[in-house]
Amino acid sequence: MKTEEKIVDFVCDTRFKDLPQSVLKTVKNQLLAVTGTTLAGATEDGCEQAIQFFRELGGKEEATILVHGGKIPAHDAAFVNGAMARALDFCDAIAPGPHIGAALFPASLALAELVGGVSGQDFLTALAIGSEVAARMNLSEAAYNGFDPTGICVIFGVASAASKILGLSKQETWNALALSFNRCGGSFQSNIDGSLSVRFIQGWVSQGAVLCARLASKGITGPKNFIEGIYGYLHLYGKNLFKGEDLVADLGQRYALKNIVFKKYPSCGLTQGPTDVMLQLMAEERVSAEDIDRILFIVPPYTHKLVGHEFKIGENPKVDSQFSIRYCVANALVRGNSRLEHFEESKVRDERVMDLTKKIKIIPDEAMEARGHTPFDLRVWTRDGRDLFRQMDIAPGFPGNPLSEEDHERRFKDCLDFAKKTVSRERAAEIISLIRNLEMADDVRKFIPLLLI
């Protein structure tokens, strides 16, 4: 059986009863993360401008703009809600970098409105299928080589969920995924340059998948051999480093989505370990910002390229700081924590933090790659002559070092504390309860009034 056919069969044939509890738990944590980041990111740079843009375009009122209210076409609602969900870069991700939930939830909720409601069980099934397909289509650092993984692999997962919610046939689902292949795109240069397009790549993924599924429902076809064809996904994006079997081995039995990462801190996944270890070192060795003489990190080349460059403030200080080990570590030293408010421009420009970033050196070493996706070695030299060494292989929130349930709820509440449009504690409790018991819900449109401020 072809790889494409195996994926289509998985999308169309999987039912709620087939999903293990561990998968449902991951998807619920994903929902909690994304609803929190959507509420907190709703007024971030570019989001309100995009909302105004699509309101001015008009069109059929199909789905709700979360937080702000009003309805626009479903694919446009998926775009703006996806951008808001990603704006703070505090949503779920998976190594080596795709952000799944921030595209998957907005698109799926928009389509749930479009079809007149979806049960909690069916919604969880669609999200689980979508997350799994995205995780299966995920590639490696060597294959992406600068492509933004979110823009490359996540659209397949969102299109899978969209096909499930729309009730597409197997042929239509095949075409939805095949059309999605032609929409892959995005570059990590957006992250390095600190541009707003980081969050809008998320919006394009969400929007594009909705359009692909709806076009497929009208009989529009895509390339049948979109994965294994001579110019298919594994050749163009996978650089012939993968085979079809790599994508579908034990599909439906072993769930790759359980490798989803939930960040402990509101910055790039590759800054999680350095932030966490520095905070631990401060507590254990009673080190403060004033004690630092110099700091050295040794990291894999992929980490160095994405978050190890010299820290400079450009057009978007928030993105600049989120994608900088130097800033994240200096911030932890100065403020003793890492919270959403610490990535606001006024905090980023703090001279105490800026001065400290200049004492931090980061060196790439290919040998580090053998230790995994997030390893690093750290040396801290203090003014009183101490030479402190720490290392980490698995950052917090990554598989093998998971967050606790308390950590997940703490993340969510940090988002609510940061949000410009405030949410009451009572409503926050309602959101958490709805997510934790979503399989009992008769209609997931119950989310919408809870996410309107």
Q: Answer yes or no: do 187 and 283 share one domain.
A: no
pLDDT at position 192 is 85
Q: Answer yes or no: do 428 and 366 share one domain.
A: no
Q: Answer yes or no: do 366 and 413 share one domain.
A: no
Is residue 426 within 8 A of residue 105, CB to CB? The reply is no
Burial of 425 (0-12, 13-18, 19+ CB in 10 A): exposed
Residue 168 lies in a domain: yes
Label each residue of 145-197 as H, E or C.
CCECHHHHHHHHHHHHHHHHHHCCCHHHHHHHHHHHHCCCCCECHHHHCCCCH
- According to DSSP, the residues that pair with 201 across neighbouring strands are none
Q: Answer yes or no: do 182 and 329 share one domain.
A: no
Distance between CA atoms of residues 138 and 143, nearest Å: 10
Distance between CA atoms of residues 412 and 29, nearest Å: 10
Structural domain boundaries, residue 338 = 269-392
Residue 428 lies in a domain: yes
Which of 220, 201, 83, 80 has the alpha carbon at shortest distance from 148? 201
pLDDT at position 167 is 98
Q: Answer yes or no: do 312 and 438 share one domain.
A: no
Residue 19 lies in a domain: yes
Q: Answer yes or no: do 194 and 289 share one domain.
A: no
CA distances to 204, 289, 372 from 286, in Å: 46, 10, 30
Is residue 362 within 8 A of residue 311, CB to CB? The reply is no
pLDDT at position 421 is 85
Residue 215 lies in a domain: yes
CA distances to 237, 246, 357, 365 from 361, in Å: 33, 38, 9, 13
Distance between CA atoms of residues 152 and 166, nearest Å: 23
Tell me the torsion sign for CA atoms 289, 406, 396, 125: negative
**Domain at 350, CATH number:** 3.30.1330.120
- Please state the domain count of the chain: 2
Residue 344 lies in a domain: yes
Phi-psi region of 73 (alpha: psi -120 to 50; beta: other; left: phi over 0): beta
Residue 95 lies in a domain: yes
Q: Answer yes or no: do 275 and 424 share one domain.
A: no
Q: Answer yes or no: do 223 and 190 share one domain.
A: yes
pLDDT at position 101 is 98
Measured CA angle at 186 (ends 183, 190), to 5 deg: 155
Distance between CA atoms of residues 339 and 418, nearest Å: 9
Crossing angle between the packed helical segments 101-114 and 120-137, to the nearest 10 degrees: 140
pLDDT at position 1 is 87
Q: Answer yes or no: do 176 and 305 share one domain.
A: no
Q: Answer yes or no: do 20 and 161 share one domain.
A: yes
pTM of the complete model beyond 0.75: yes
Residue 402 lies in a domain: no
Residue type, 5: E
Q: 443 in helix, strand or coil? A: coil
Residue 425 lies in a domain: yes
Q: Answer yes or no: do 338 and 227 share one domain.
A: no
pLDDT at position 194 is 83
* Local confidence pLDDT in tens for the 453 residues of the chain: 899 999 999 999 999 999 999 999 999 999 999 999 999 999 999 999 999 999 999 999 999 999 999 999 999 999 999 999 999 989 999 999 999 999 999 999 999 999 999 999 999 999 999 999 999 999 999 999 999 999 999 999 999 999 999 999 999 999 999 999 999 999 999 988 888 999 999 999 999 999 999 999 999 999 999 999 999 999 999 999 999 999 999 999 999 999 999 999 999 999 999 999 999 999 999 999 999 999 999 999 999 999 999 999 998 898 899 999 999 999 999 999 999 999 999 999 999 999 999 999 999 999 999 999 999 999 999 999 999 999 999 999 999 999 999 999 999 999 999 999 888 989 999 999 999 999 999 999 999 999 999
Q: What DSSP state is assigned to residue 259?
A: G
Q: Answer yes or no: do 415 and 364 share one domain.
A: no
**Domain at 44, CATH number:** 1.10.4100.10
